[in-house]
Amino acid sequence: MKLMAKREELLAPLQSVIGVVERRQTMPVLANVLLAAREKRLGITGTDLEVELAAVGAVHVETPGDITVPGRKLLDILRALPAEVDVVV
Protein backbone atom coordinates (compact mmCIF):
# COMPACT_ATOMS: atom_id res chain seq x y z
CA MET A 1 0.00 0.00 0.00
CA LYS A 2 1.27 3.45 -0.89
CA LEU A 3 -0.70 6.68 -0.78
CA MET A 4 -0.18 10.42 -0.60
CA ALA A 5 -2.48 12.97 1.02
CA LYS A 6 -2.53 16.32 2.74
CA ARG A 7 -2.23 16.11 6.52
CA GLU A 8 -5.84 17.28 7.01
CA GLU A 9 -7.18 14.63 4.61
CA LEU A 10 -5.78 11.95 6.94
CA LEU A 11 -6.30 13.72 10.25
CA ALA A 12 -10.04 14.41 9.92
CA PRO A 13 -11.21 10.81 9.31
CA LEU A 14 -8.73 9.45 11.87
CA GLN A 15 -10.06 11.80 14.55
CA SER A 16 -13.60 10.60 13.89
CA VAL A 17 -12.74 6.94 14.60
CA ILE A 18 -10.00 7.25 17.24
CA GLY A 19 -12.52 7.46 20.11
CA VAL A 20 -13.38 3.78 19.81
CA VAL A 21 -9.74 2.62 19.79
CA GLU A 22 -8.80 1.32 23.21
CA ARG A 23 -5.89 2.77 25.18
CA ARG A 24 -5.67 -0.13 27.61
CA GLN A 25 -6.54 -3.09 25.48
CA THR A 26 -6.69 -6.76 26.35
CA MET A 27 -5.75 -7.55 22.75
CA PRO A 28 -2.93 -5.40 21.31
CA VAL A 29 -4.53 -5.26 17.83
CA LEU A 30 -7.43 -3.25 19.30
CA ALA A 31 -5.04 -0.29 19.67
CA ASN A 32 -4.68 -0.27 15.87
CA VAL A 33 -6.77 1.22 13.09
CA LEU A 34 -7.25 -0.41 9.71
CA LEU A 35 -6.14 1.68 6.73
CA ALA A 36 -7.67 0.41 3.47
CA ALA A 37 -6.54 2.26 0.33
CA ARG A 38 -8.62 1.81 -2.83
CA GLU A 39 -8.60 4.00 -5.96
CA LYS A 40 -8.90 7.58 -4.63
CA ARG A 41 -10.18 6.71 -1.16
CA LEU A 42 -8.72 5.73 2.18
CA GLY A 43 -11.00 3.92 4.61
CA ILE A 44 -10.05 4.13 8.28
CA THR A 45 -11.71 1.69 10.69
CA GLY A 46 -11.35 1.31 14.46
CA THR A 47 -13.09 -1.05 16.87
CA ASP A 48 -13.24 -2.15 20.50
CA LEU A 49 -15.12 -5.35 19.52
CA GLU A 50 -18.41 -3.84 20.70
CA VAL A 51 -18.47 -0.70 18.57
CA GLU A 52 -16.89 -0.16 15.17
CA LEU A 53 -16.40 3.24 13.56
CA ALA A 54 -15.35 3.86 9.97
CA ALA A 55 -14.52 6.99 8.00
CA VAL A 56 -13.36 7.71 4.46
CA GLY A 57 -10.94 10.32 3.16
CA ALA A 58 -9.91 11.40 -0.33
CA VAL A 59 -6.27 10.53 -1.12
CA HIS A 60 -4.01 9.76 -4.07
CA VAL A 61 -3.43 5.98 -4.04
CA GLU A 62 -0.32 4.74 -5.86
CA THR A 63 -0.57 1.12 -4.69
CA PRO A 64 -3.85 -0.18 -3.18
CA GLY A 65 -3.72 -2.28 -0.03
CA ASP A 66 -4.60 -2.69 3.64
CA ILE A 67 -2.55 -2.30 6.81
CA THR A 68 -3.13 -1.83 10.53
CA VAL A 69 -1.18 0.81 12.44
CA PRO A 70 -1.25 2.04 16.05
CA GLY A 71 -4.10 4.56 15.99
CA ARG A 72 -3.03 6.94 18.73
CA LYS A 73 0.58 7.01 17.55
CA LEU A 74 -0.53 7.88 14.01
CA LEU A 75 -2.81 10.59 15.40
CA ASP A 76 0.04 12.09 17.45
CA ILE A 77 2.37 12.09 14.42
CA LEU A 78 -0.22 13.77 12.19
CA ARG A 79 -1.00 16.41 14.82
CA ALA A 80 2.72 17.24 15.15
CA LEU A 81 3.16 17.87 11.40
CA PRO A 82 2.73 21.31 9.81
CA ALA A 83 -0.77 21.95 8.43
CA GLU A 84 -0.02 22.00 4.69
CA VAL A 85 2.39 19.05 4.48
CA ASP A 86 1.94 16.09 2.13
CA VAL A 87 2.04 12.74 3.94
CA VAL A 88 3.17 9.52 2.23
CA VAL A 89 2.11 6.21 3.79
pTM for the structure as a whole: 0.91
pLDDT tens column, 23-73: 777 888 999 999 999 999 999 999 988 999 999 999 999 999 999 999 999
In CATH, which of 3.40.640.10, 3.30.930.10, 3.10.150.10, 2.40.10.170 is domain 2-83?
3.10.150.10
Closest CA to 37 of 64, 71, 17, 62: 64
b vs e for 10-29, b when ≥16 Cβ sit within 10 Å of the residue's Cβ?
A: bbebbebbbebbbeeeeeee
For the chain, which residues make up each domain, given as ranges?
Answer: 2-83
The predicted structure's pLDDT at residue 26 = 80
